[in-house]
Amino acid sequence: MLDVLVRTPAGKVARRGLPIFRGKIADEKWISRWVSLAVPVAEEIRREEPLAETELLARRTEEGAVLLSLENLLSYAWLREKVESGTLSLHALYYDMKAKTMNIWNAEKEDFEPIVPV
């Protein structure tokens, strides 16, 4: 079986780009296109947690962007078929720069949890 890991981009870029500094990156062609992929995630998080602090909003947006990347990968029929047949496994990773921890998505708990070294 082949394992594919999808991880979050650098947290600082996502934090600076969404939602606070969107105007500052508007002229940065590649960064603004890349960061814009997370806009629907940020809007959904704001609807779900309208009183969330900026730090929590940023983290949830980054985590949601990773999960959205997995969804986008599964939109390719050939990838979806491999996942469904069990020959390919996709994993979502989130690196928390502040805590310096690598976290993996736990679908049963519907949350990211730290990867504990063995």
Domain spans of the chain, in order of start: 2-114
User: 90 with 107: CB under 8 angstroms?
Assistant: no
CATH value of 2-114 in 3.40.1050.10, 3.30.1060.10, 3.50.50.100, 3.40.50.150: 3.40.1050.10
Average pLDDT, the chain: 78
pTM of the shown model = 0.70
CB atoms inside a 10 Å sphere around CB 34: 16
Residues facing residue 93 across a β-bridge: 7, 104
* Per-residue pLDDT reduced to its tens digit, 54-101: 888 888 888 888 898 888 889 999 999 999 999 988 899 988 888 888
User: Cα dihedral sign for 72, 38, 115, 112?
Assistant: negative
